[in-house]
Structure 1
Amino acid sequence: MNKREKLHSELKEFIVNVGWTHKIHIVRADEYVSYSKAFKIVRIVLASLTSSGLIGILLTNDTYILKLITALLSFATAAMNGFDKSIDYDKLSKKEQVDANKFWELREDALSLLFDVVYETKNIDDIEKDLKELKQMRTIYNNELDNDIPNRTVNKASKRLKNRNDNVYEEDYAKFISADLLKLKKGMG
């Protein structure tokens, strides 16, 4: 395998790797948005029920059950508010989107290098140097990530791309790379 073929193969695998990371973090961001919406709905419902209970206490004879239910609803509302404040799902979603976008940029840069390899528009040593820099950036970005991603998130991302088949990149290339860049052009190089 010559240097050009090696770089072609490395770039395809790099693109797929960062493509997967991007998709996983996009799915995680979507999950956080869903959690945030669910919390808001639950908080609104609990607050409404608490208000209804208070109105019921004021307008009816004092009943112990109504007071107890209203107190429990009030506690649940306060607990939900505290929980929602301690875990800011909107902020977490934005962070996941920013992380995902970094990997998308790596993917785009690698696609450009792949184009350079396929069509020999750039010196092969320069491409190798640029790929090394992209790999270093990927390592830096990976170290900044929240690596506590639940399996269900990975599974959702996988289903969005294909039925799960980790490390079988031949099937993934078509999902992340234009068909004209998948093979080296004959007579070049």
Structure 2
Amino acid sequence: MSTSSSKLIILDRDGVINEDSDDYVKSVDEWIPLPGSLEAIALLNQAGYQIAIATNQSGLSRGFFTIGDLHAMHNKMDALLKPLGGRIDSIFFCPHQDSHQCDCRKPAPGMMKEIALRYKKIGSTQPLTGVPIVGDSLRDLEAGVVLGAAPHLVLTGKGEKTLAKGKLPEGTQIHADLLAFANALLENKA
């Protein structure tokens, strides 16, 4: 089955879909959806969009939680989305810390390259051209913009601080939260 990036949206996780924590989101109990975020994903799915998550999860290599804990958090997200008619199509995560200097930890574009490969949008220096990337930090946006993604900053999580710091990629659109992003995107497509 061939997938296409023409109806793809890339989301960060912590601070966009669920509450963020400076002490890391380490367990199912700590994984708490932000108001309206799951409804936003369901709306986007029902409009034909596929949702890919790209998330830095250095808590794994730091020993704050296990891969089993991470899967349990994602299973909880899936279980909460299902009754709303929503789903996540793929989850990409980087388990490394900045000191590992990997290519997958945002703002490096490694995860975005993997997403482009998965969704068969390859063969170009800008394989994610026009694909919305939604994050609450500069590094989320930078990782996708390198490959042509359209940056969208939400003001949840670290979004307010990110906006205050400035230096956002050119053309960044600002949204109160994920539901505001979804509504704006769907209104513009109507």
TM-score (normalised: structure 2): 0.21
RCO comparison, higher one (Cα < 8 Å, 6+): 1
Instruction: Indicate the structure (1 or 2) with the bigger Cα radius of gyration.
Output: 1
Structure (1/2) with the larger helix percentage: 1
TM-score (normalised: structure 1): 0.21
